[in-house]
Amino acid sequence: MKWETKITNINNGQETIRGKKLSGLIQKNTFTETIFLIWRGRIPRKAETKMLDALLTAAIDHGIGTASAMTARIVASAKNSLHTALTAGILAMGERHGSAIENAAKFFVENKNNRNLVQKIKELKDKKIRVAGFGHAVLERDERSENLIKIAKKLGFYKDTCKTAILIEKELNKLSSKHLPLNIDGAMGAILTDMGFDPDIMKGVFITARVPGLVAHIYEEIKNDTGLRRLNENEIDYIGK
């Protein structure tokens, strides 16, 4: 069985990543630069490194209450290994948590040249179809997104996709009784698109950013060792016969 790859080559004791010697990357390049290289096939420019750094930092953690953190900690509390709990946390990411970044980016790309975008947003709102990348269960304002947009403007990555995302945010909030901010998924999806990233890799970008946070939660759970996490019976309402 033969596989082909453009990513990594190991030959005569030498390892290269996208054509760059790993030994050289270790000595000269940052982790963020090397992440960009392995994803995009080239060393990033300074502005790209700064933007990717900001994106990864913004999504590193969002507290114990998220589906991924809760799941990871529950699994760790059952005396599973760190990597098992980490896998469980990643698997808890779905369309409502962690994966909206891809759907948001695809929606922005499909509609950034749509002259009837305002009407489309109204129709989706009337049908109660949620537009990915907007709204938050806890936050009325998503400062993570606001800061990322500021950095994107400063570094030259505030382009058509970001402008489309901000337009959608304005139109949604004209129609909604509840404030729907551009959230971290929407901001990341828009900025990464304007940086030239394919939406199909964007879930991976979010997961890469969140893994350190999940590792921290799992490690804390292991060290605290407060016992198996479970609901108290008084927190459960039985509604069967």
Determine the Cα–Cα distance for residues 83 and 60; give it in Å rounded to an integer: 18
The total domain count for the chain is 2
Residue 241, both tokens: 């016969």
Same-domain pairing of 33 and 92: no
Angle at 169 between CA 123 and CA 206, to 5 degrees: 110
CB 134 within 8 A of CB 168: yes
Average pLDDT over residues 153-173: 93
pLDDT reading at 126 higher than 80:
no
How far apart are the two ends of the chain, measured CA to CA in Å? 57
Same-domain pairing of 72 and 7: no
Domain assignment present for residue 238? The answer is: no
Phi/psi at 182 (5° precision):
-60, 120
The DSSP output letter for 20 is: E
Determine the Cα–Cα distance for residues 34 and 25; give it in Å rounded to an integer: 7
Q: Which residues pair with 17 in a beta bridge?
A: 8, 20
Residue 172 pLDDT level (bands cut at 50, 70, 90): confident
Same-domain pairing of 27 and 85: no
Neighbours of 92 (CB within 10 A): 19
Same-domain pairing of 89 and 57: yes
Residue 219, both tokens: 């490690």
CB 108 within 8 A of CB 193: yes
Same-domain pairing of 110 and 53: yes
Same-domain pairing of 81 and 36: no
Domain assignment present for residue 219? The answer is: yes
Q: Which residue range is the domain that position 197 belongs to?
A: 46-229
Q: What is the pLDDT of residues 61-91, one digit of tens each?
A: 999 999 999 999 999 999 999 999 999 999 9
Q: What's the pTM?
A: 0.92
Determine the Cα–Cα distance for residues 1 and 129; give it in Å rounded to an integer: 46
Domain assignment present for residue 96? The answer is: yes
Same-domain pairing of 17 and 56: no
Q: What is the pLDDT of residues 10-67, one digit of tens each?
A: 999 899 999 999 999 999 999 999 999 999 999 999 999 999 999 999 999 999 999 9
